[in-house]
């Protein structure tokens, strides 16, 4: 389960509205076992061939659900994550964006007392290509099976990187979208550790963004990795613009800039790409040089 999902993954979808239903069908068509949807008050119904239950616990008891994919609207999303934690779901993936920061801080506090892993929120989810296991919203057509894993804060940049890799003939083991919010369940360093341990992954694309210090923490982990990493930082040319006062800047200091992140990653031995269009071709070269392609 280094890539969080495998052939034995049984996905329950929390928030079975239009987006939840549409993605449930795409997951099922891809070959993923989606065992139930959870919508309180609709338990016992069947929608698009999926059994609906009132609680996550029922989906666990009845269908052995071991992955939760959350589409619940932002005001109620923290509650949904905590419900999955309470039902001891090992892998919880939250797609919802705009969850209040205070709610996520409380969720993080509860997660420290739990064995559950949270991916997201505000993320595209996770896919294991070889296992045909998809718990997310990514377009499946752009993926081809191979040995490169992709980690990204941004959803659309996962698709972009995967598309570039596929177009230069480099397949993927899978991707983990860690999420674009300031407070997320699993950071880039932790996601790198998962791929370092994954036997089907030989190299990693890491896509970061300006702001915060997560890329520097990832760089520290890269120093310990055996697998090559190609990295890109989005927002290098973004104007400083919306400064959020001084207090926020003290925490990260100058660490939030693209230059600081790029140089930390370079020093850690990552292959840093400056033009976002060069991610695929750079990875191809790295793999060739290492005799992996």
Partner 1 sequence: MKLHEYQAKELLAEYGVPVPAGSIATTPEEAAEAAAGIGGAVVVKAQAHTGARGKAGGVKVANSAEEAGTIAQEILGMNLVTNQTGPSGLPVNSVLIEEAIEIDRELYLSVAIDGSAAMPVIIASQEGGMDIEEVAAQRPEAILREYIDPAAGFQGFQARALAFGLGLTGDLNRPATSLIESLAKAFMESDGSIAEINPVVVTKDGRLLAADAKFSIDDSAMFRQKSLDEKRDRTQEAEKELEAQDAGIQNYIKLDGNIGCLVNGAGLAMSTLDAIKMAGGDAANFLDIGTANSPEAVVSALRIIGTDPDVEAVLVNIFGGLARTDIIAQGVIDAKNQGLIPQPTVIRLAGSNVNEGNELLDKSGLELVRADGFAQAAQAAVDAIS
Q: Which residues are catalytic?
A: 246
Paired tokens of 69: 């994919």
Does 188 bind partner 1 (CB under 8 A)? Our answer is no
* Partners of 47 in beta bridges: 50
Does 243 bind partner 1 (CB under 8 A)? Our answer is yes
> How do strand 172-177 and strand 33-38 relate by DSSP bridges?
unpaired
Per CB under 8 A, the list member of 44, 49, 199, 246 interacting with partner 1 is: 246
| Candidate ranges 31-39, 46-54, 79-87, 207-215; the one touching partner 1 (CB under 8 A) | 207-215
Q: How far apart are CA 134 and CA 147, in angstroms?
A: 17
Does 182 bind partner 1 (CB under 8 A)? Our answer is yes
Site string for partner 1, 35-54 (x = CB under 8 A): --------------------
Does 292 bind partner 1 (CB under 8 A)? Our answer is no
Q: How far apart are CA 284 and CA 104, in angstroms?
A: 38
- Local structure of residue 17 (DSSP, 8 states): S
Nearer to partner 1, 64 or 275 (CB): 275
Does 253 bind partner 1 (CB under 8 A)? Our answer is yes
Q: Among residue numbers 106 through 145, which ones bind partner 1 (CB under 8 A)?
A: 106, 108-110, 124, 137-139, 141-142
DSSP code string of 250-265: HHHGGGGSHHHHHHHH
Q: Which residues of 32-64 are buried (b: 16+ CB within 10 A; e: fewer)?
A: bbbbbbbbeeebeeeeeebbbbeebbbbbeebe
Residue 281 burial by Cβ neighbours in a 10 Å radius (0-12, 13-18, 19+): middle
Spatial strand order of the sheet with 46-47 comes to 46-47, 50-53, 33-38, 10-14, 67-70, 91-94, 117-119
Q: How far apart are CA 4 and CA 192, in angstroms?
A: 12
**Residue 141: left (phi > 0), alpha (psi -120 to 50), or beta?**
alpha
Nearer to partner 1, 31 or 75 (CB): 75
Residue pair 205/285 in contact (Cβ under 8 Å)? The answer is: no
Nearer to partner 1, 51 or 235 (CB): 235
How near is the Cβ of 118 to partner 1 at its closest, in Å?
11
Does 183 bind partner 1 (CB under 8 A)? Our answer is yes
First to last CA, the chain: 25
How near is the Cβ of 90 to partner 1 at its closest, in Å?
21
| Candidate ranges 44-52, 59-67, 182-190, 219-227; the one touching partner 1 (CB under 8 A) | 182-190
| Candidate ranges 56-64, 126-134, 191-199, 272-280; the one touching partner 1 (CB under 8 A) | 272-280
Per CB under 8 A, the list member of 40, 102, 197, 288 interacting with partner 1 is: 102
Q: Among residue numbers 8 through 27, which ones bind partner 1 (CB under 8 A)?
A: 19, 23
Total residues in contact with partner 1, by rule CB under 8 A:
69
Does 30 bind partner 1 (CB under 8 A)? Our answer is no
List residues binding partner 1 (CB under 8 A): 19, 23, 74-75, 95, 97-102, 104-106, 108-110, 124, 137-139, 141-142, 152-157, 159-160, 163-164, 180, 182-183, 187, 207, 209-210, 212-214, 217, 232, 234-239, 241-251, 253-254, 274-278
């Amino acid at each position: 389960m280094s890539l969080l999902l495998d052939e034995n993954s049984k996905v329950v979808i929390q928030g079975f509205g239009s987006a939840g239903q549409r993605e449930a069908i795409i997951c099922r068509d891809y070959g993923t076992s989606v065992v139930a949807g959870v919508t309180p008050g609709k338990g016992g119904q069947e929608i698009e061939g999926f059994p609906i239950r009132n609680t996550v616990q029922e989906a666990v008891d009845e269908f052995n659900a071991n992955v939760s994919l959350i589409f619940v609207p932002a005001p109620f999303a923290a509650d949904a994550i905590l419900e999955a934690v309470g039902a001891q779901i090992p892998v919880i993936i939250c797609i919802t964006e705009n969850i209040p920061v205070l709610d996520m801080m409380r969720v993080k506090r509860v997660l420290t007392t739990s064995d559950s892993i949270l991916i997201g929120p505000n993320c595209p989810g996770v896919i294991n290509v070889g296992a045909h296991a998809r718990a997310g919203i990514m377009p499946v057509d752009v993926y081809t099976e191979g040995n490169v894993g992709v980690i990204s804060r941004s959803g659309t940049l996962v698709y972009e990187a995967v598309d570039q890799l596929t177009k230069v003939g480099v397949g993927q083991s899978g991707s983990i979208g860690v999420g674009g919010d300031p407070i997320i369940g699993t950071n880039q360093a932790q996601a790198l550790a998962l791929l370092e341990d994954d036997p089907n992954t030989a190299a990693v694309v890491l896509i970061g963004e300006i702001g915060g210090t997560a890329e520097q923490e990832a760089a520290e982990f890269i120093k310990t990795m055996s697998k090559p990493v190609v990295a890109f930082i989005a927002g290098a040319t973004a104007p400083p613009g919306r400064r959020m006062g001084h207090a926020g800047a003290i925490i990260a200091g100058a660490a939030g800039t693209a230059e600081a992140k790029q140089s930390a990653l370079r020093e850690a031995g990552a292959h840093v790409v400056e033009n976002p269009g060069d991610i695929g071709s750079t990875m191809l070269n790295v793999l060739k040089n290492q005799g992996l392609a």
